[in-house]
Amino acid sequence: MINQNLARFRARGFSLVEVLVALLVISIGMLGLAALYVETLRMNRTAIYRTQAVNLASDMAERIRANAAAGVAYAGAGADSGCNEGGAAAVACTPAQMAAQDVFDWQQAAAALLPNGTAVLGFVAAGAGTPNVYTLTITWTEVSQAADLTFVMTVEA
């Protein structure tokens, strides 16, 4: 009779081993969730940088299309000519000066919005009956990547 009562007493509740195993399983699950959260934050940062690169390239493509008369001037180095100043400081610019200002502004924006961001504009002159071809290349450093990331867009105008 005493052995039966003892056996019934031991069968009630959780043993210390069961509690420790449950704690271990819950801890591993929580570590997995934390790792997933960190990976999500990293991917969101990468997506933001890629979106910035696409927006920068699209902006420059529209500037090139709006100033098609500049042509080869977009192949030159960017320069702050004051063409984008508004109000009383406004300057009347030639298409070539506006192209230099556009390239300058674009490169400054890439450096400001992306980590180690650089923007390079390539140019191939039009042949007979073909449009000029511009290659917009934006490169930046991503923390978790071994190599720099690059976005390239080709524009015909």
- At 111, the amino acid letter reads A
pLDDT of residue 80: 86
| Cα(4)–Cα(136) distance, integer angstroms | 84
Domain boundaries of the chain, sorted by first residue: 2-156
Widest CA span in the chain: 108
Model confidence pLDDT, tens digit, residues 14-37:
688 888 999 999 999 999 999 999
Give the H/E segment covering residue 120: strand 118-124
Percent of the chain with pLDDT over 70: 86
Q: What integer is the mean pLDDT of 141-147?
A: 83
Greater pLDDT, 39 or 59: 59
Question: Which residues are 156's β-sheet partners?
Answer: 133
Residue 64 has pLDDT above 70, yes or no: yes
Model confidence pLDDT, tens digit, residues 79-118:
887 777 665 566 678 899 999 999 999 999 999 999 999 9
Backbone angles phi, psi at 2, to 5 degrees: -65, -40
pLDDT of residue 127: 76
pLDDT of residue 88: 58
- Half-sphere exposure at residue 122, Cβ-oriented, CA atoms within 13 angstroms: 9
pLDDT of residue 22: 92
